[in-house]
């Protein structure tokens, strides 16, 4: 609101709020720090879990940073930006989400101290950008080359990603499964499309029962009980066309005036379906996966021909089946030929936890595989899936980049020390920001120590001393509380996890710092909500926020 010759001028709508200057910055920083604080206790091998209960009472128990932040019902706009950091980290690398958010929170905390010393936000932002760029250079020099064929090292990477998760009990077996699955679907140049690894969850059994299927697992059952349950040396047809009589493209009406005409019509329908089935049989296929429907009469004829068939198979499953078996997805009944078929050593319907599933196994050089996750309860199975997802992501990232760094806080301590040296060469007020950035990175080893019940100050002093003596691979062993060589301990992470975390955290911190004015529109009440064209309709009573 402004004042002109005693007359108030309303600029914002009634009910809108405006926060300016230090109040706006303080509010945003406090919200971001609160989000970072919420996930901080989950970091590291001794991190704790969170139980999240949604509005309808569904429970999620996890220590996966991005899952926690996605499930939290966050309202504050600056806090939502912290959630975006985690989502970006998850999309790009698949791991290190908690690290990215914790670093962003600490960068803002250190920036707040500089703001109290009257350092301008744009100076801090400039210093942070310089520091982030330099940090990524330092990490790149610290990185160690790894060969995609070094399965022992890939297993260590998967092991590090799973440590501290619910999957830790059967970690050795799960790491083997992850490395096996990723190397199977990897292309010659080392690129990995992790969409070709299907994770299928089934409650029942124990974590140890989790297995890799060298082929595909389809959550469907045979369409007819007379069909064979097991077919060896399978020839597989993937069909994206209905095995039903053709309906007319336009609305049509058929007038039948006598019972003979009706019978002739039904006979013709059956003949059409029979001819479709004959084309499938003539192709020499003995397994059929159909993306569309299969008519009841067709089911009978397919069963008589000894063909195992499943219908309404998901498009994503059809694509994976094509990669696993070498088949082509056929879109027309007339286009079916023996050359379009794929092969598998065994196709079998089995009961898993009381539900029928079709296993396509013993595929020759499968480029799509499935992992069937087992566990005692739904919460256990969900957490195992998240752990496997993280491990698959980090192993695929290392196979593509062929670079890794030691874990246990070693990269952060090394980068912090080098940034302090770099800051001295920069000078000016930007030096303060770079030094603040360096100190902020130490939050990772500090948090690892706190979560393990160790003294964070003693830990940092010991780590700094080790790195000053050129032991750049030394990180914190949370089980002994000592600074040890992380490469020898087998604690390693992909380089991209660290570089992406620092880039995302610094960009988000800079964006939040540059905000000096928050103008929030008033939230409409249910009565004020605009009526959609044509009345309130179905959505009219739902209310909600706009």
Active-site residues, by number, are: 64, 97-98, 390
Kindly give the residue spans of alpha helices, DSSP state H, lying in 284-349: 296-304, 315-325
Closest to 168 measured CA to CA, from 89, 95, 63: 63
- Residues in CB range of 155: below 8 A, 6 or more apart: 175, 176, 179
Token pair belonging to 244 = 């039903």
Neighbours of 202 (CB within 10 A): 19
Residues in the chain: 546
Q: Are 100 and 85 in contact (CB under 8 A)?
A: yes
Distance between CA atoms of 376 and 167, rounded to whole angstroms?
Answer: 12
What's the DSSP call for residue 165? S
321: CB partners within 8 A, 6+ apart: 216, 218, 236, 238, 289, 313, 327, 342, 360, 368
- Which two three-digit tokens encode residue 55? 């509005």
CA-based nearest residue to 495, from 155, 146, 187: 146
Q: DSSP assignment of 57-111, as one string? A: --EEEE--HHHHHHHS----HHHHHHHHHHHHHHHHTSS-HHHHHHHHHHHHHHH
């Amino acid at each position: 609101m402004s004042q002109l010759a005693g007359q108030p001028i309303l600029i914002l709508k009634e009910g809108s709020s405006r926060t300016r200057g230090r109040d706006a910055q303080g509010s945003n920083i406090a919200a971001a720090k609160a989000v970072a604080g919420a996930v901080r206790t989950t970091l590291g091998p001794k991190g704790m879990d969170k139980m999240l209960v949604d509005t309808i009472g569904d429970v999620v128990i996890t220590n996966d940073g991005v899952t926690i932040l996605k499930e939290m019902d966050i309202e504050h706009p600056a806090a939502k930006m912290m959630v975006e950091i985690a989502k970006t980290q998850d999309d790009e690398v698949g791991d290190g989400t908690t690290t990215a958010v914790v670093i962003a929170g600490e960068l803002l905390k250190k920036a707040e101290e500089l703001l109290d010393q009257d350092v301008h936000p744009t100076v801090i932002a400039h210093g942070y950008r310089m520091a982030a760029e330099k940090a990524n250079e330092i990490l790149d020099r610290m990185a160690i080359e790894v060969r995609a064929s070094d399965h022992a090292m890939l297993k260590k990477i998967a092991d590090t990603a799973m440590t501290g998760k619910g999957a830790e009990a059967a970690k050795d077996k799960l790491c083997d499964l992850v490395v096996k699955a990723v190397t199977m679907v990897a292309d010659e140049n080392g690129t990995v499309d992790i969409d070709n690894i299907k994770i299928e969850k089934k409650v029942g059994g124990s974590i140890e029962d989790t297995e890799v299927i060298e082929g595909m697992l389809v959550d469907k059952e045979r369409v007819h009980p007379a069909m064979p349950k097991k077919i060896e040396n399978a020839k597989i047809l993937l069909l994206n066309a209905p095995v039903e009589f053709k309906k007319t493209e336009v609305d049509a009406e058929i007038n039948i005036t006598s019972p003979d005409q009706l019978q002739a019509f039904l006979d013709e329908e059956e003949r059409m379906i029979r001819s479709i089935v004959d084309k499938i049989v003539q192709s020499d296929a003995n397994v059929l996966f159909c993306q569309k429907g299969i008519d009841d009469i067709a089911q009978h004829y397919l069963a008589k021909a000894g063909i195992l068939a499943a219908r309404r198979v998901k498009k994503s499953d059809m694509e994976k089946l094509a990669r696993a078996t070498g088949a082509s997805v056929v879109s027309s009944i007339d286009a079916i030929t023996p050359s379009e078929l794929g092969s598998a050593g065994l196709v079998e319907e089995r009961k898993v936890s009381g539900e029928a599933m079709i296993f396509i196994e013993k595929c020759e050089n499968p480029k799509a595989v499935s992992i069937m996750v087992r566990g005692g309860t739904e919460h256990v199975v969900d957490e195992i899936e998240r752990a496997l997802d993280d491990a698959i992501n980090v192993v695929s990232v290392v196979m593509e980049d062929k670079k890794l760094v030691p874990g246990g806080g070693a990269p952060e301590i090394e980068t912090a020390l080098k940034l302090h040296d770099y800051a001295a060469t920069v000078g000016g007020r930007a030096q303060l920001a770079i030094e603040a950035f360096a100190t902020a990175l130490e939050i990772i080893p500090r948090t690892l120590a706190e979560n393990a019940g160790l003294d964070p100050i003693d830990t940092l002093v010991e780590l700094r001393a080790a790195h000053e003596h050129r032991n750049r691979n030394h990180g914190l062993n949370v089980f002994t509380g000592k600074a040890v060589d992380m490469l020898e301990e087998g604690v390693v992470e992909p380089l991209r996890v660290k570089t992406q975390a620092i880039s995302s955290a610094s960009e988000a911190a800079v964006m939040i710092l540059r905000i000096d004015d928050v103008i929030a529109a008033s939230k409409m009440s249910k009565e004020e909500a605009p009526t959609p064209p044509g009345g309130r309709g179905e959505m009219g009573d739902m209310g909600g926020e706009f």
